[in-house]
Amino acid sequence: MKEKIYTIPLTEALKADCECPLCEVEKNIDIKTTQYFIGPAMMEPDTRSLTNSKGFCRRHYDKMLESGNKLSLALILQTRLNEVNNKLAEISKQKKLQKLKKEIDGFQKMFSSCAVCEKVADRMNDCIDNFLYLLKKEPDFRAEFLLSKGLCMKHFNMLVPLITDNGLLEEVVALQVKQSERIKSEIDKFCLKFDYRSTDLDIEDVKDSPARAVYKLRSLI
Ligand SMILES: [Zn+2]
Ligand SMILES: [Zn+2]
């Protein structure tokens, strides 16, 4: 199975004791995919055709700017701008309101996709399939996961609909309940510090709980 390639990264991510091992893997896939599009692949006609039509989201454009690979980025932007400007030229020729609006609908679609995000999403679907495979077939992996901090809500919501085994489903849900309650109690303690009656409270152990709660609560959008 092709998703086997994610076994080692998933096993390593589980050992990282983070709020979500799938987020750890996704972070690495995201970095590598961004580097891929701005690396030698940008000279391949198929890849360039994809980035010309889909473009990138704001976050990935920012990542490419930060990469410092300005020439590669400029070449990608050059041909993307060709496509954008051709479409704008077509729009400018439309004199009838209905046709003009239709062209603008098409133009908006050119800015509602991201070549990196779509490739990362494809890879994460394979990765989640592999995660489920490991939970079902590898008792050590399953035991380690059940002792972990669980998943973020985004990846929990992606994994749960794929589980067909009742026992596993109960275990995964129970872990998520326990870990979500743990994060809530950490946030409670953090907030309590700002109550005038508990200014002496030591919050060293929960000082990063807002960042970890944000991580935990990330949604699908
Ligand atoms: Zn996650
Ligand atoms: Zn993106």
Q: State the pLDDT at residue 220.
A: 63
Residues 6+ apart with CB under 8 A from 22: 10, 13, 124, 127, 128, 131, 151, 152, 155, 158, 159
Surrounding ion ligand 1 within 5 Å at CB are 20, 22-23, 152, 155
Q: If you measure from the C-alpha of residue 49 to the centroid of ligand 1, how many angstroms do you get, rounded to a whole number?
A: 31
Q: State the pLDDT at residue 52.
A: 96
Q: Who has greater pLDDT, 1 or 29?
A: 29
pLDDT classification of 201: cutoffs 50, 70, 90: confident
Q: State the pLDDT at residue 203.
A: 81
- Average pLDDT rounded to a whole number, residues 61-67: 94
Determine the Cα–Cα distance for residues 175 and 179; give it in Å rounded to an integer.
Answer: 6
Helices and strands counted in the chain (H then E): 11, 0
Q: If you measure from the C-alpha of residue 153 to the centroid of ligand 1, how many angstroms do you get, rounded to a whole number?
A: 7
Q: If you measure from the C-alpha of residue 56 to the centroid of ligand 2, how many angstroms do you get, rounded to a whole number?
A: 5
pLDDT, tens digit, for every residue of 80-129?
Answer: 999 999 999 999 998 899 989 999 999 999 999 999 999 999 999 999 99
Note the pTM of the prediction, 2 decimals. Answer: 0.88
- Average pLDDT rounded to a whole number, residues 12-29: 92
- Average pLDDT rounded to a whole number, residues 197-208: 83
Q: State the pLDDT at residue 221.
A: 61
What is the percent of the chain where pLDDT is above 90?
Answer: 81
Ordered by start, the domain boundaries in the chain are: 2-148, 167-221
Angstrom distances, CA of residue 83 to CA of 50, 56, 64, 112, 172: 11, 14, 20, 15, 46
Q: If you measure from the C-alpha of residue 216 to the centroid of ligand 1, how many angstroms do you get, rounded to a whole number?
A: 7
pLDDT, tens digit, for every residue of 129-177?
Answer: 999 999 999 999 999 999 999 999 999 999 999 999 999 999 999 999 9
What is the percent of the chain where pLDDT is above 70?
Answer: 97
| Model confidence at 4: pLDDT above 70 | no
Q: State the pLDDT at residue 205.
A: 87
